[in-house]
Amino acid sequence: MTGGLFLLSCTRVDPYELLLEQGYQWVKQWPTHLQQPISDELKQVLDKLLQKDRSDRYQSATEVLTALETIAQQQQSQTPSSSSPTIAQQKQSQTSSSTSPTIAQQKQSQPIQPTQIQTPSQPQQKNRRKFLQYLGYGGIGVVSVGVFAVIRKLLTPSPIPPIPSPTPTVGGFPLETFSFETVKVDPQGNIIQRQTKQGTQFAVDLGNDVFLDMVQIPGGTFMMGSPESEEGRDDDEAQQQVTVDDFYIGKYEVTQEQWQAIMGNNPASFKEGGKYPVEKVSWNDCQEFCEKLSEKTGLTFTLPTEAQWEYACRGGTTTPFYYGETLSTDIANYNGKYVYGESKKGVYRQETTEVGSFPANGFGLHDMHGNVWEWCQDDYEKNYQANNKNFQQDANKVTANAVTLVSASFAPNILLANNSQYKSLRGGSWVSIPNNCRSAIRVNDYRREDRNDNGGFRVVCVFGRTL
């Protein structure tokens, strides 16, 4: 019966009609009535089910199931996999596996429901009964319906797994999406809004489970500096419209474990843990770090220019802080004995805090207000345009006094000379008053060889996105 049911289902041709028309030749010619192609292996199984002599057929439903299960396992082993690990999975070194039940296990765990097949009514009921006996109706019984169900399952085309799209990369490092939370505060420093956003980053593996996360900053135009009405404004913060191209910047200040991985030492004063920012590093030390990191990765890492730093810090805002009109020690690490605007006094921690301890800005960057001052590539100049005449611009680079700043053409009127002893720092630190943690604040008190326990840095990378 099982072979006859299969023929009726797949061809919609009544095998009894074929018997009347062709005699027992129909057993050899049944494949010509198929409405869809089947594998040679399955065709052999069905040929045996339709043999005229009982001794030539399968002798039990178990034999049929075994043959079909072998075919099913072969099909499963030929199905390609389309999954690939993400960066986050690589970081956590996690793997997962799944076990698919065999057809026999499915049969044991799930009761087989009989399939009802409607056959055309014929006047020759007695002859039909004999024909059904030939097919084996009374021999296999209800179990054969289960075999038929398995046959139908094998005949159902397996879905073709989608071809995964190429993963975008930066210099061979895959890009991934990450989520982060930003906050806004009222004039008193109370959080009045929380928002979840998404950004794009790539992670550089520095070894020993230490990673450097680089966040993509989309290019744009912004007003650099501060308005004359901003509280605490200095006279070196004249506003100027600046346009920047895309670049990548560290999600966090460079940590002690990252410095250790590249430089082989830890100069920090506050050795509270590997994820605390490295400090007591000079501008010259940072240059050496960037050179070694570039050699290790094949990418070009530098300190940010002042234009890059402020654009990244603001994250699309125009207020004194990316949180709003003021700052509180609930959202940044600075000297909480002092206030800005209408805010209240807070905590003075007197040391650095672990990077990422406070909410991110609009680009997903952390600790750009307070914690440690951050070195910039530029010399400090009170007037942004003071040294424009010293620059030579050529496509994707700006050369100043034999020092090349890679891919810096996006802000030719902002990049400053590179021969001064005094370098710019941005962002404030754990010891700073809140006024000195503003997005526009600029510091000119440090020479390139100076080291302090409130000075650190983060890196940028300018590299085209590829597929």
Q: Long-range CB contacts (< 8 A, 24+ apart) of 107-116?
A: 107/65, 107/146, 112/145, 112/146, 112/149, 114/142, 114/145, 115/5, 115/145, 115/148, 115/149, 115/152
Chain-centre distance for alpha carbon 1: 54
Count of other CB atoms within 10 angstroms of residue 38: 16
Confidence (pTM): 0.64
Reported as a single tens digit per residue, the pLDDT across 69-79 is 787 777 666 65
- Do both 274 and 423 map to the same domain? yes
- Do both 145 and 193 map to the same domain? no
Helix (H/G/I), strand (E/B), else coil: 113:
coil
Give the Cα separation of 443 and 455 in Å (integer): 11
Helix (H/G/I), strand (E/B), else coil: 289:
helix
| pLDDT reading at 57 higher than 60 | yes
Rg (C-alpha) for the chain, rounded Å, is 36
If one counts the domains in the chain, the total is: 2
Mean pLDDT computed over 315-322:
98
- Do both 178 and 37 map to the same domain? no
Reported as a single tens digit per residue, the pLDDT across 71-115 is 777 766 665 544 445 444 555 544 344 444 443 444 444 444 444
- Do both 128 and 173 map to the same domain? no
Mean pLDDT computed over 353-377:
98
Distances from the Cα of 330 to the Cα of 92, 112, 185, 358, angstroms: 30, 62, 11, 8
- Do both 323 and 367 map to the same domain? yes
Range of the domain at 139: 2-76+104-155
Chain-centre distance for alpha carbon 28: 56
- Do both 108 and 33 map to the same domain? yes
The contacts of residue 224 (CB under 8 Å, 6+ apart) are 239, 240, 241, 242, 306, 307, 310, 311, 384, 414, 440
| pLDDT reading at 246 higher than 60 | yes
- Do both 193 and 142 map to the same domain? no
Residue 234 is assigned to a structural domain of this protein:
yes
Residue 88 is assigned to a structural domain of this protein:
no
Domain boundary among 122, 155, 188: 155
Amino acid at 326: T
Beta bridge partners of 397: 394, 406
Residue 63 is assigned to a structural domain of this protein:
yes
* CATH number of the domain bearing residue 451: 3.90.1580.10
Residue 92 is assigned to a structural domain of this protein:
no
Beta bridge partners of 198: 179
